[in-house]
Structure 1
């Protein structure tokens, strides 16, 4: 029986999903966090923001009560439109209003430093 592996979604900041970023790849799986700026119920498109960056989230396959101003985390695949606009096709979403976003950013930075250190140790 064949099974397809579903990626857990790499942790990224919204600032890392720009066209000039190495993360800006069609179909790449990501976990993103941001404040819900707007939500269109008809199109099921949400827009989250964080530190001046924004990202559209396609929520059509989710049942989630979205409230503008709340903080959400989404896991899904990145789809790049012909105009170089990114949309995350979310498969999982959750409200994370209790999350200390500054502490979250700091822990993500520390995680990356640790991972880089581990890679450098293995190659030495």
Structure 2
């Protein structure tokens, strides 16, 4: 079946600390999946700020429906990264969900294992 538009990417799982220059993940238009604790949310601007360890990220939630925001809860967002003129990142979220109860340490361990697998897979393909 032919598609009339470009396919939406799945959103690569990343930690917030990886979204700083010169990381290759810090790229305008990158489709990403992020997770963090809600530090603040503005109903007027629909911008949320999530934090994870010593990193934070602004999330534009204007396209999300039926999602209530509670400061202190953990959320996961999938969307496209937009690099602002001041070199600050903003994720234009297309999906968001509350993931309270998720073990953050285990989540970070799984991210490390996924990266390790991807590096090994790349090395295997190049040999």
TM-score, length-normalised on structure 1?
0.96
- Following superposition, the deviation at residue 33 of structure 1 comes to 0.3
Residues matched between the structures, number: 124
Quote the Cα distance in structure 2 between the aligned partners of 1:114 and 1:4.
28
Partner residue in 1 for 2:11:
9
- Following superposition, the deviation at residue 20 of structure 1 comes to 2.1
TM-score, length-normalised on structure 2?
0.94
CA offsets 1:64-113 (integer angstroms, 9 cap, x no match): 10100000000000111111111000000000002100000001101111
Partner residue in 2 for 1:106:
109
1:39-118 matches, within 5 Å, as 39-63=41-65, 64-118=67-121
Partner residue in 2 for 1:28:
30
Quote the Cα distance in structure 1 between the aligned partners of 2:75 and 2:8.
21
Unaligned runs of 5+ in 1: none
Partner of 1:99, secondary structure, is coil
Aligned Cα root-mean-square deviation (Å): 0.9
Quote the Cα distance in structure 2 between the aligned partners of 1:19 and 1:121.
28
